[in-house]
Structure 1
Amino acid sequence: MNPTAESAEQWPLNHAAFAQPALTPLTAAQKLLLPLGVVLFDWLFWRENGGVNILVFTIFIIGSQLLMLPRHAPARRSGYLWLMVGGSLFAGMMMAVYGSGVAALACTVSLLLMLGYINQPHLKLVLYALLTAANSVAQAWLRVLRNVRAPRNTGAGARRSWFYGRLLLVPLVILGAFHLLFAVANPRYEELSSRALAALGNWLAMLLPDISFAHFLFFLLGFVVTAGAIVTVPVYVFADHESRFGEFIRRQRDRLASFGVRRPDFRWKNTRTLDLRKEFLAAAAVFGLVNVLLLAVNAIDINWLWFGFVPAKGFDLAQFVHEGTYVLIFSILLAMGIVLWFFRRNLNFYQPGLPWLRWGATVWVLQNAILAVSVGLRNYYYILNSGIAYKRIGVCFFLLLTFFGLVTVLLKIWQRRSAYSLIRLNALAVYAVLLMLAAGNWEVWMARYNLQPRFRNIDIGFLLAMPGRVLPELVAHRAQLAQVPSLTIEDEYGQAKSIAAFDAQARIDAAVAAWKIQYSINSDWQGLTYADWETYQEL
């Protein structure tokens, strides 16, 4: 056979194998919703704070996706999808009420998860749904640009310009992303680049008085966001990877335990049993020894912290809480990791020692729960003596997740659940905690608690740095500041500095006046929140 002829015959097939898949054209609904979404994004968010606008745009994204979703699509039967739809609406409403950063984060995460479950409705793992959505959003705007074609009745020069214009847009977007990274990392670069962009904006304003360069960039951002929310690019890699996992551990008859070495002078079955016995002895030794050690630690904490704990004079409560809390939290996470390691394979089916191993691990998990209670008490005593801060609230919710995680570890021990099952359940718990954080008016509650007259020191600078909805609490306690022994703010070096009561009161008055001016300037409904409106009425 002629090799030249054979190569010529095979070339079309090989060429087709390396060709890109056919481009899926945009639907009529997508062609309508894309420009509508870009204009809506620009109208809602240009020079506006986060508030009602986020709720409106969230409703637009949810309505668009449900409108484009076929009636009998598998995603409509996904409980995870409807959970994320409800979470998105709830977080959007919390943005309209409080406008907090955690509510904005919860709304963004919820929308991404919703897009992930629409993309791959069989997904269960929250992290994989988030990565699927992020991958799809990153490709969507490119998919839209590839669908854009120059008008047919134009000349070759116009079509060539259209082609190179689309080609150069991708490097410009990448250049903009790196510019933002360098601006965050290098203050000097940020200053010089800001001057250059301002000069370019002024030059464009002279040419086009009604269009600013910053507004043009913001319009491009709206296009990228809207394309990611409207156009779904199928991403299968994470769904394929998740399909390998199961909820429960299955006995693996073709593998050795992790401590096993196959020897030629033993029968295969006897070798496997011997390997499991070795791993059982190692696990029993670990659980036995650490249970004794943890029992001593818990006995000390119960005797010292649980009943009648009073800090001695000069006792550094901050160091006691910070260092002790971090170490104990790491200890709890390490304990959970060790349990996951020993109960990952065939040791779950080793009948001679399984009951002893399960009860030993259960006692260890319960002792770690007692250790978590001791961590919570440390945090409670710190709040009782020094007030509430963001990290102390974070420790409370982290401990809540820790207790939930310990319960799932018990499920793994007694129900032979897989590590995938634990990650899935705990990821849902993290998402639930995120929605709980979004529902709280934490700054107002912190200010109300920290301004109690029983505290000998009040960090007034910390309270003044909070959002404007805290100001009514500061005004209500303004006269009481004269009775506080110590009022502090942070200086330019981050060190606490004492100030007089009249200075603190003057700072509160100045903050109120500045907030009123800012509110009157930004009075459009897009960035309005119920908390800001209520604050303005009270002030």
Structure 2
Amino acid sequence: MKQTLIIIASILSSFLFFEQSIGINLLIFSIITIIVLAFNNLKQFKDTKILLYCLVYVTTSVFVFIQDSSLSIFANCVAFFTLIGKISQSKTSIYINWLNGVFTSITGLFFRRVNAKKNIENTSPKKEVDFLHIAKLIGIPTLFIIVFVLLYKNGNPMFNDLVEQINFNFINFQWLLFTVLGYYLISNIVNPIQVEPATSNDLNTKNNLYKSKTFSIEKLKKEKQLGTTLLGLLNLLIILFIVTDIASLMSVETIKASDMSTQVHNGINTLIASIIIAIVIILHFFRGDLNFYSENKTLKNLTYLWILLNVVLIALIAIKNQTYITSFGLTYKRIGVHIYIFLTLVGLITTFIKVMTIKNMVFLFRLNTQIVFAILILFSAINWDTTITKYNLDNANSYDLQYLINLSDANAILLKHHSLEVELDAKFNRKIDWKYNNYLKHIKRKDWQEKSLKDYSITEVEQNL
């Protein structure tokens, strides 16, 4: 039954994906994958964590169907590996889930067979399959049949005509190869495996810090003095920087695009250096016994102030970047700046939690990777090409129309409507028309497996614009 299910799933996968682009087929494949995994891992599927990650995996495939974006496809792949890794061991960190998921998908079947040979139970020996004999049984007769068919063709015109009529064109060898690859993938993932010793090490590693056996008050006193002096001076420096930055923002009423770009990029460079240094310094001083030193209150307060001031610095850069966006429109780089700002804010908050609750570096890495995974899933729900286009056309004071034309075809209808409502340069009208017509042709050429929601939602009016 197990092998039958794998074969059926492999054939369905080939039917869905062979010579097809990504669309509703990925959603169907996700459902098939969960069915196969559930059938072979009933015990694991009683765990609510597994069911949650199944929901996340299916949700990302729904995002692919709705948005049809590269980011949603990437998020679906990450969710797939996460689910496979979570089934292998539900209690490990998410980055270990990724490791187990990728390793299982590539080498699961091979690894299980090799591992099974190493752990043969002391039972009655099973008769081994003589693969060499089977190969001879199939290969030798086939070889001689081919040789004699070629000989008989030359000796009998009627037999030659009969052989010539045999046509094997109905066999699609590329489809067969694709199906075999699908069978290999599904066979790999049916019973997810664990990469050792990474999995066991992760399970045995806790999040809390503990006082070491070499706890030295004299040594910690000196380290606390160093940390207090350093963080005190750094706090004064960042306060001076923030004050001057606010003053410069308030003193300038108008600013050129190039100047604003320079300010934002310089601010980001400052932010990168500042946050990295801040986190490294904090993690250095609170890496061990200083967390348990009774006179570390001043150092902790300076640390909290340092984190807070870096949050203020983040807010200033965010304001600059948003002002830039309002004036000159959205681009992927400007969205990337906002995302980086948000991630650095998350990093500071998790560092604050680590210091306050006396956690170790593993806790920080575990928490941050979980947050990054969640953000990836959330952001995959958005088609950024259409979002950028809508924002720029409706809200930006000025924008680069050529940049919008160069984006994917997801914004073709928006640009076509815009070209009909606003008088544009003739060259832009030609480019938009070319983009729009190619988009419609591409949709008409799609098979049902490749269709996404927006392909079904195009009205007759939009097709005749």
- Same topology, TM > 0.5: yes
Return the offset for 1:67.
2.2
Structure 1: where are the runs of 5+ without partners? 1-27, 163-205, 257-271, 484-500
Helix, strand or coil for the counterpart of 2:423? helix
Q: What is the distance in 2 between the residues matched to 1:111 and 1:331?
A: 36
Q: What is the distance in 1 between the residues matched to 2:319 and 2:171?
A: 58
Cα gap change, 1:70/1:154 in structure 2, threshold over 3 Å: closer, same or farther?
closer
Q: What is the distance in 2 between the residues matched to 1:220 and 1:107?
A: 23
TM-score, with length taken from structure 2: 0.84
2:235 is the counterpart of 1:235: no
Return the offset for 1:211.
4.4
Q: What is the distance in 1 between the residues matched to 2:416 and 2:287?
A: 58
Cα gap change, 1:250/1:218 in structure 2, threshold over 3 Å: closer, same or farther?
same
Amino acid at match of 2:443: Y
User: CA contact under 8 A between 1:447 and 1:463: conserved in structure 2?
Assistant: yes
Amino acid at match of 1:410: F
Q: What is the distance in 1 between the residues matched to 2:202 and 2:292?
A: 24
2:430 is the counterpart of 1:506: yes
User: CA contact under 8 A between 2:6 and 2:36: conserved in structure 1?
Assistant: no
Return the offset for 1:465.
3.0
2:252 is the counterpart of 1:284: no
User: CA contact under 8 A between 1:50 and 1:527: conserved in structure 2?
Assistant: yes
Return the offset for 1:160.
8.8
2:210 is the counterpart of 1:250: yes
Q: What is the distance in 1 between the residues matched to 2:252 and 2:459?
A: 43
- Pairing partner for 1:47 from 19, 22, 25: 19
Structure 2: where are the runs of 5+ without partners? 117-126, 140-165
Helix, strand or coil for the counterpart of 1:50? coil
User: CA contact under 8 A between 2:326 and 2:396: conserved in structure 1?
Assistant: no
Kindly indicate which of the two structures has a greater share of residues assigned to helix: 2
Helix, strand or coil for the counterpart of 1:210? coil
Q: Paired residue for 1:67?
A: 39
Q: What is the distance in 2 between the residues matched to 1:398 and 1:453?
A: 23
Matches within 5 A, 1:483-502: 501-502=425-426
Return the offset for 1:279.
1.2
Q: What is the distance in 2 between the residues matched to 1:240 and 1:453?
A: 53
Amino acid at match of 1:65: L
Amino acid at match of 1:467: S
Q: Which has the higher contact order (CA 8 A, sep 6+)?
A: 2
Comparing 446-455 with 504-513, which one deviates more in the overlay?
A: 446-455
2:454 is the counterpart of 1:531: yes
Q: What is the distance in 2 between the residues matched to 1:63 and 1:416?
A: 42
Q: What is the distance in 1 between the residues matched to 2:202 and 2:335?
A: 34
Amino acid at match of 1:527: E
- Pairing partner for 1:128 from 75, 82, 96: 96
Cα gap change, 1:224/1:152 in structure 2, threshold over 3 Å: closer, same or farther?
closer
2:313 is the counterpart of 1:371: yes
Cα gap change, 1:471/1:313 in structure 2, threshold over 3 Å: closer, same or farther?
closer
Return the offset for 1:521.
1.3
Matches within 5 A, 1:261-410: 272-305=216-249, 307=250, 309-313=252-256, 315-352=258-295, 354-410=296-352
Comparing 108-117 with 463-472, which one deviates more in the overlay?
A: 463-472
Q: Paired residue for 1:87?
A: 56
Q: Paired residue for 2:122?
A: none
Amino acid at match of 1:35: I
Q: What is the distance in 2 between the residues matched to 1:435 and 1:155?
A: 49
Deviations 1:387-411 (A, max 9, x none): 1111222222222222222222111
Amino acid at match of 1:444: T
Q: What is the distance in 1 between the residues matched to 2:344 and 2:99?
A: 24
Q: What is the distance in 2 between the residues matched to 1:228 and 1:252?
A: 44
Deviations 1:465-488 (A, max 9, x none): 3333311110111045536xxxxx
TM-score, with length taken from structure 1: 0.73
Helix, strand or coil for the counterpart of 2:81? helix
Q: Paired residue for 2:410?
A: 469
Return the offset for 1:92.
0.9
Q: What is the distance in 1 between the residues matched to 2:362 and 2:46?
A: 24
Q: What is the distance in 2 between the residues matched to 1:139 and 1:154?
A: 22
Amino acid at match of 2:457: E
Return the offset for 1:336.
1.4
Cα gap change, 1:533/1:144 in structure 2, threshold over 3 Å: closer, same or farther?
farther
User: CA contact under 8 A between 2:326 and 2:397: conserved in structure 1?
Assistant: no
Q: What is the distance in 1 between the residues matched to 2:180 and 2:337?
A: 40
Cα gap change, 1:426/1:314 in structure 2, threshold over 3 Å: closer, same or farther?
closer
Comparing 391-400 with 429-438, which one deviates more in the overlay?
A: 391-400
Amino acid at match of 2:455: D
Cα gap change, 1:95/1:207 in structure 2, threshold over 3 Å: closer, same or farther?
same
User: CA contact under 8 A between 2:37 and 2:191: conserved in structure 1?
Assistant: no
Amino acid at match of 2:435: A
Matches within 5 A, 1:516-527: 516-522=440-446, 524-527=447-450
Return the offset for 1:76.
3.2
Q: Paired residue for 1:111?
A: 80
Cα gap change, 1:330/1:223 in structure 2, threshold over 3 Å: closer, same or farther?
farther
Cα gap change, 1:119/1:144 in structure 2, threshold over 3 Å: closer, same or farther?
closer
After TM superposition, the runs of 4+ consecutive aligned structure 1 residues lying more than 4 A away are 143-147, 150-155, 159-162, 211-214
Return the offset for 1:113.
0.7
Cα gap change, 1:366/1:161 in structure 2, threshold over 3 Å: closer, same or farther?
farther
2:66 is the counterpart of 1:97: yes
2:384 is the counterpart of 1:442: yes
Cα gap change, 1:209/1:421 in structure 2, threshold over 3 Å: closer, same or farther?
same
Q: What is the distance in 1 between the residues matched to 2:395 and 2:376?
A: 32
Amino acid at match of 1:135: F
Return the offset for 1:355.
0.9
Comparing 340-349 with 33-42, which one deviates more in the overlay?
A: 33-42
Helix, strand or coil for the counterpart of 2:340? helix
Helix, strand or coil for the counterpart of 1:434? helix
- RMSD value, Cα: 2.9
Q: Paired residue for 2:110?
A: 142
Amino acid at match of 1:91: T
Matches within 5 A, 1:143-292: 156=133, 158=135, 208-211=168-171, 214-253=174-213, 255=214, 272-292=216-236
Q: What is the distance in 2 between the residues matched to 1:160 and 1:367?
A: 78
Comparing 243-252 with 105-114, which one deviates more in the overlay?
A: 243-252
Q: What is the distance in 1 between the residues matched to 2:279 and 2:458?
A: 45
User: CA contact under 8 A between 2:88 and 2:191: conserved in structure 1?
Assistant: no
